[in-house]
Structures are given as C-alpha cells and as structure tokens.
Amino acid sequence: MKKVKLIYNPYSGENIILSKLDDIINIHQQAGLTIVPYRIRRECGIESAFQDIKPGEYEYILVAGGDGTVDSVVNAMAKQGISLPIGILPVGTANDFSKFLGIPFDIEAACKQIIGSTATTVDLGSINDKYFVNVASTGLFTDVSQKTDVNLKNTIGKLAYYLKGLEELPNFRPLKVKITSEQVNFDGTMYLMLIFNGKTAGNFNLATRADAADGMLDVIIFKAVQVYELIPLFIKVLKGEHLDSDKVIYFKTDRLHIECSEDIVTDIDGEKGPDFPLDIKCIKGGLKILGVK
C-alpha cells in the first residue's frame, strides 16, 4: 500500500481527533493507503515527524489540527525541503484556512474529499524567515490566541478567545506604524493590522475579497479612530462592509515592509511571529493542497 503521513495534534480543539483515528485509518485503508501516524508532543519539535520521509515513499501529508498546527507543519516541511501535498483535517479551535478552502468539518467527509481530489496549488505567505497559511497580524488583541490557555480552549472553544480579549481592553491605545508597499504607503496610527492569505480570522469574515491563488495578500488596517466610532465600524465588519469604510485601509499586494517601535508582538496563524521590522510577501502557488473545493 502507498503511505500517508498523519500528523495530529491531540491538544487541538476539543480533542476530537482522538476518537476519530480509527475512522481515518479505515477510510484510507479502503482507498489502498496506509496511515503512518505521528502524535505531536509539546516537549518535542515537529521536525521529528519527518525523519522517515524519503522520496517516493509517501503520497501526501495529512494534518489534523487547527491553523497553528498547519502553520507549524508547513514551516517544518519548508525547512527540510519536503514538497509533498498536504491535506487538512480541521479539528482545531479555529479552522479558518480549511474553511476558506472548502474542507468539511466532518472528519470522515474531509478524508473522502481529500482522497478523491487532485493536488492544487494555493498561495503561501512569507514573513521574514517564517511562513503563514492564513493570516499574519499585529496590533491590539493579536496575541490573544497565544495567551489563551489550551485547556480553556478545549473546554469552551472560541469563547475562550473572546474572554481573553476582554482582559486586554485596558491596553487599548493607538499604535504608531509605518507601512511601505508598491500600492499603499502609510505612516500613522492604527489599532490592528491583518495580512491575509486566507479570508477569515476567528471565524470573522474580514478579507471578503481574498483569492487563494491570485498571488496577492489582502492587507486590512483598522486606523486609530475615536472610541465612539468603533461600534459603527464593528457593525460594518459584521455586515462585511468594512473594506469600503474610511476608517479602514484595504489593499492587495504581493510584498510589503512594516516598521514599528511599539511594545507589541506579531502573530502568525495563532502562534508568536517574528519581531519588527517585517518583510512580508506572497509566494504564488507556494503550497500544494488536497481537498480544495
């Protein structure tokens, strides 16, 4: 039988993957594929998942987890020069990238869709010496995912992010940032900036005009406005009308440079990102994906 490497995160979401392993193995066996599992461990780098990967032995990499797990796998593969297609089983707290690609949240349905598909290429984001699949961000609230306790996320899901976000409200302030790109230059204050390869963050549909294969990243900057203007802006976000607001800077680009001296962090797919300054670019067709609808 041909082999498929399954890399699964037992801590993702509500630990759903643990009860689905036999189903995953059975579906693949019926398709003539042997699952070779690797369990992610906190005390061991994910690079060890690829120690047995040799040319021609594996059909693809199957990743079970959220956006952060997919991000970690993609970065590890890039470092080791592994260019196999990946399939995603969305079992994390946030599964924004798989949702963008049209992958079912039902594990059995996702397996069958992946097995019955042909690999297609989608864009990949690059930020300094790292890669991101869905979104890179900086500004207020961008480290909420990093600060949220894993056990709390597993217990109450996405609500844990919102509760953690409320704790960050005392830190609410304008942030000075300088952005340089061919399309737009900005030197001013903002609250939040997101650079999307995907479309959603925390299930909020923010990059409504994103395309997975256009070779461009969607940049959204929420400018520092008066407090009373925030609620109308949030309503526009809920309606998907925020990209045309004068309180928001939106543009597409394949490359941008960001400078910031504020005491803030960056985030890539829910994990801590690199320090400023940032050089961000889009790698057109940089990722081979199975199961895309």
Contacts of 181 (CB under 8 A, 6+ apart): 219, 251, 253, 255, 256, 257
Told to judge if 271 belongs to the known catalytic residues of this protein, a careful annotator would answer: yes
Are residues 113 and 136 located together in one domain of the fold? no
Q: Any idea what the CATH number is for the domain that residue 186 is in?
A: 2.60.200.40
Rounded CA gap, 29 and 56, in Å?
A: 19
Rounded CA gap, 142 and 168, in Å?
A: 10
Are residues 42 and 107 located together in one domain of the fold? yes
Domain limits for position 274: 130-282
Are residues 160 and 268 located together in one domain of the fold? yes
In a domain, 125, yes or no: no
Name the β-bridge partners of 195: 136, 219
Are residues 41 and 155 located together in one domain of the fold? no
**How far is the CA of 264 from the CAs of 147, 149, 190, 194, in angstroms?**
13, 20, 12, 14
The tens-digit pLDDT sequence of the chain (293 residues) is 799 999 999 988 778 899 999 999 999 999 999 999 999 987 788 999 999 898 889 999 999 999 999 999 999 999 999 999 999 999 987 799 999 999 999 999 999 999 999 999 999 999 999 999 999 999 886 655 555 555 544 444 444 444 444 445 446 789 999 999 999 999 999 999 999 999 998 788 999 999 999 999 999 999 998 888 888 888 898 899 999 999 999 999 999 999 999 988 899 998 889 999 999 999 999 999 999 98
The catalytic position among 59, 108, 259, 271 is: 271
In a domain, 143, yes or no: yes
**Whole-model pTM?**
0.89
Count of structural domains, the chain: 2
The count of residues in the chain is 293
Tokens encoding 16: 């759903």
Alpha-carbon torsion, ordered 178, 179, 180, 182, to 10 deg: -150
Cα-to-chain-centroid distance, residue 64? 13
